[in-house]
A and B are shown apart, each in its own frame.
Chain A
Amino acid sequence: MRKKSSGYILIAPLVLGCLVFYLAPFLLVLRFSFSAGSGKSIRWVGLENYQRLIQNDSFALAFGNSMKFFAVGLPLIMVLAYLIALLMQKQTGRHKLLKSVFLFPYIMPVAGTVLLVDLFFSEMGLLNSLLNIMGLPAAQWMEGSSAFWVTIGLYLWKNVGYAIILLLAGLITIPSDQYESADLDGASTWQKFFFITTPQMWYSVFFALVFSIINGFKCFREIFLIGGQEPGDEIYMLQHFLNNSFESLNYASLSVSSILLLTAILIFFGVFYGFVNRKEAYRT
């Protein structure tokens, strides 16, 4: 029978592997965050590292930038993906090209996107040439605040396809007769969306959010390769901070920032997961 033991045996490889390669390092990180010094001279210093780090300027900048990135990027990508998914749901049979094409940016390798950004947005790039032809002044796209928007644009371009699939999957499961009966009752598009679509989509929205966050963290690779280790202030992300701490072997700040990042993720997830579960409990 499906005893508990068979369950444990089945998940054993994965859990053991995760323990070794993800959890154990994380516990090390936890320990580093509460100690100072390295090698033989580790000593327990409690929360002193945390205090020092919160007052650290570059950490505050990095943390703030990452939060800003997600605060701007996540809603944008969800809205855009939702719009496109709704479009594809309503007009089945059309937009064949779009349907086959929207996953392409996701499979584009990092080297390719870096090259493209270079070709397109650099000072002698395509965009500036276009602007020159139209008589508009060329701008420094990779510096200052426009670099942030370039990063957001890159994130959207690459990952909206993934979110579209996740949302589309949820939209497909909504039976169409619900819409038809709503039409008969004379409901407007907005009412249909709010009362029929949204309540059944919470799980899909949650998935799309999870994967968009994962992809957002991966966006760091492109930023790193375009901007280098010390990019401009606008796009100095938390992972840059982590990376630089790694380079300078500053284990303490590396660990503390990792713990803080994890806490932020845990809080966000716990809240949203509970919210989604409550909404879903209404349905089943």
Chain B
Amino acid sequence: MTESRVFRGVSGAFAALLSVIFLAPFCYVLLSSFWTGNGVNFMPYYDVFWAQSQYMLRFWRSLGLCLCVGLGQLFVSVLAGFGFAKCRFPGRDVIFFGLMILMVLPVQVTLVPNYIMMGQLGLLDSYLALILPLIFAPLGAFILRQSFASIPENIIDAAMLDGCGIPTIILKIAIPMNVSGLVCAFLLSFLDAWNMVEQPIAYLRNFNYYPLSVALAYVPPADVPIHLVCCILVVLPCFLLFAFFNQELVEGITLAEVK
């Protein structure tokens, strides 16, 4: 396609501007964590990483929590996604539409009844209150249903003729073909759990149990450089995960679209 030089120049400038806008805050956080007005100062890093153990312990706790949520949701979503994509049963589309609506609802809508229910189940003030609702969030099933739908029917028919049961089909055919969709679902649910704010404030009474992101947001440390270093700590796992799975993420969402 022929494009005028002006167009290329303008689009290049536009892209560069956008990149700067997206990237600048991160660079700012990184830079100001060790550069104050007076020069390079690594004391905040020392304070967060070596002087006190509370930041690191909270970090590991949050990580464990989010991994539980991610893996649990993955398991549930693989089953449900395959069921919605490949099995025909009455009411399938209606149920799916209902799940989609539930996915869109903001947290506040079900927060109070959930709180009452958790109280009755005795789960308040424990991590289960945070993990269980997130494991059953419909987001993963939504993404995986789209990606499983792209498996050609004849492969599954052939497998069934060979006498494979459904678990075998899922394990040996569906999952290896859709690794990017699985990764995408895991990453998005991990990110959701890592960034959750409302649920811990509502369900957990003890500040010591708050995951790192909530604790940081709700009661920011008084010292701004320490706050910045904590932000870096909070971004780190997500950043590494997203950088590692960058390709799968884009593919996974792409596959979700292909009819």
Contact = CB atoms under 8 A, between A and B. Distances in A.
Contacts of A2: 86-88, 160, 166
Nearest to B197: A221
B234 A6 contact: no
Contact of B213 (A102, A109, A165): A109
18 contacts: A9-B83, A16-B136, A24-B113, A24-B117, A25-B116, A87-B14, A95-B15, A97-B19, A98-B16, A109-B231, A161-B22, A170-B257, A214-B104, A217-B105, A221-B198, A221-B217, A242-B111, A258-B109
B22 A102 contact: yes
B76 to A, nearest CB: 5
Contact of A284 (B141, B166, B259): B259
By secondary structure, the A interface counts as helix
Interface stretch (A48-56, A138-146, A261-269): A261-269
B38 interface: no
Contacts of B109: 26, 29, 242, 258, 261-262
Best-surrounded residue of B15, B117, B220 (most CB of chain A within 10 A): B15
B95 A114 contact: no
Contacts of B76: 13-14, 17
Contacts, number: 251
- The prevalent SS among residues of B at the interface is helix
B230 to A, nearest CB: 7
B255 to A, nearest CB: 8
A109 B99 CA distance: 27
A11 B79 contact: yes
Interface string A146-185: 0000000000010001000110111011000001000100
Interface in B178-214: 191, 194-195, 197-198, 202, 213
Contacts of B99: 14-15, 18
Interface of B: 1, 3, 8, 11-12, 14-16, 18-19, 21-23, 25-26, 28-29, 75-77, 79-80, 82-84, 86-90, 92, 95, 97, 99-114, 116-117, 132-133, 135-136, 138, 141, 160, 166, 191, 194-195, 197-198, 202, 213, 216-218, 220, 224, 227-228, 230-231, 234-235, 238-239, 242, 246, 249-250, 253-254, 256-259
B83 A7 contact: yes
A258 B107 CA distance: 10
A131 interface: no
A29 B15 contact: no
A76 interface: no
B22 A242 contact: no
Interface residues of A, number: 89
Contact of A103 (B136, B202, B249, B254): B249
Interface in A66-105: 84, 87, 90-91, 94-95, 97-98, 100-105
